[in-house]
Structure 1
Amino acid sequence: MDGMDGMDGTRAEDEILDVVDAHDRVVGRYPRGEVYDRGLRHRCVFVQARDAENRLFVHRRTATKLVFPSLHDMFVGGVVGAGESYDDAALREAEEELGVSGLPRPEYLFKFLYDDGAGRSWWSSVYRVRCELPVRPQAEEVAWHAFLPEEEVRRRLADWEWVPDGLAAYERLRAHRPAG
């Protein structure tokens, strides 16, 4: 919910995040807005959602997102709150962004340090989940969405503008396991 009010009335910029070091150890806590402004390393989750036909959930982020507005993504997810586990954040973010409840707990796959070399760096924990429920993505998060076959996602890699951290996670995931 970048830039939007949270369910408890707090603004996303005010949400407290754990700041972590190069070994993913917590070294401080700051509001999200300050974490972003200062380029402090934090934690994020990436959840690849597939439907009953094994198609990937793909979406375009809204223009109001604080990070990577209006870009396409093949993951749902977001920041891990202060004191929150990666696993809990993965389930929370997947349910929020897909607009469902009762989703199975996402399966943890691997973790990597994303660093774009320009002050954006976060530990990225990658998950997958099967979503056989009808999705109702949050309008403030998702401008467009569809479940697409993997082959179509691969074809669109060159045509659409993708969030760079999601693209990095996708490439690592493809190397991590066979397609499908």
Structure 2
Amino acid sequence: MSAADEILDIVDEHDQVIGQYPRGEAYARNLRHRCVFIEARDGEGRIFVHRRTPTKLVFPSLHDMFVGGVVGAGESYDDAALREAEEELGVTGLPRPSFLFKFLYDDEAGRTWWSAVYEVRCDLPVRPQAEEVAWHDFLPEDEVERRLGEWGWVPDGLAAYERLETYRTARDTAR
């Protein structure tokens, strides 16, 4: 089955399932669905950053500071986060990613999806999928910050990154 044929739950503005469609049709019709974003850090605290392949259905050839993807029909966010992290990093035995928060992503093109953001530590040697990842590295956080204005980034990843920074600032302030 191709990625475009994968069945997704279509959800409303409250993240309640209202139908199911193949991914390709959901994308073509801008139907609201579910995605997961996982920030993967190595033992030194560096962030896994990658450039997507030119064959990706959405945001081809752009950089991302998250691994992740769509949540399949009937799949939980938590299960999708572990599956996607292991698939994109090319590892098995990853600890279950920790859920942080969820937000509704939407853009000027009419694309919209519920986005669950997670974090995970990956101490395993990574072997990203060649069909998904064209380039990768673990980068220090300050280098990621420097690259934000230099590289082309996936817009939903940027939205998740900005919210993650706000989330962490609020959490640290509350301590």
TM-score, length basis structure 1: 0.93
Segments of 5+ residues of structure 1 without an aligned counterpart are 1-9
Query: 1-side partners of 2:73 and 2:58: how far apart?
Result: 19
2:10 maps to 1:19:
yes
Query: 1-side partners of 2:82 and 2:92: how far apart?
Result: 10
Which has the higher mean CA deviation after the structures are superposed, 112-121 or 162-171? 112-121
Task: Write the letter of the residue equivalent to 2:156.
Answer: D
Structure having the larger proportion of residues in helix: 2
| 1:7 alignment counterpart | none
1:12-161, aligned counterparts within 5 Å? 12-161=3-152
Percent of aligned pairs with the same residue? 79
**Considering only aligned residues, what root-mean-square deviation do their CA atoms show, in Å?**
1.2
| 1:4 alignment counterpart | none
| 1:176 alignment counterpart | 167
Listed one character per residue, the Cα deviations across residues 134-163 of structure 1 (whole Å, up to 9, x for unaligned) are: 000000000000000000000000000000
- Structure 1 residue 171: deviation in Å? 0.3
Listed one character per residue, the Cα deviations across residues 70-129 of structure 1 (whole Å, up to 9, x for unaligned) are: 000000000000000000000000000000000000000000000003220000000000
Query: 1-side partners of 2:112 and 2:76: how far apart?
Result: 18
| 1:6 alignment counterpart | none
| 2:155 alignment counterpart | 164
- Structure 1 residue 58: deviation in Å? 0.2
Listed one character per residue, the Cα deviations across residues 26-84 of structure 1 (whole Å, up to 9, x for unaligned) are: 00000001000100000000000000000000000000000000000000000000000
Query: 2-side partners of 1:31 and 1:64: how far apart?
Result: 18
The runs of at least 4 aligned residues of structure 1 exceeding 2 Å deviation read none
Query: 2-side partners of 1:172 and 1:158: how far apart?
Result: 17
Segments of 5+ residues of structure 2 without an aligned counterpart are none
TM-score, length basis structure 2: 0.96
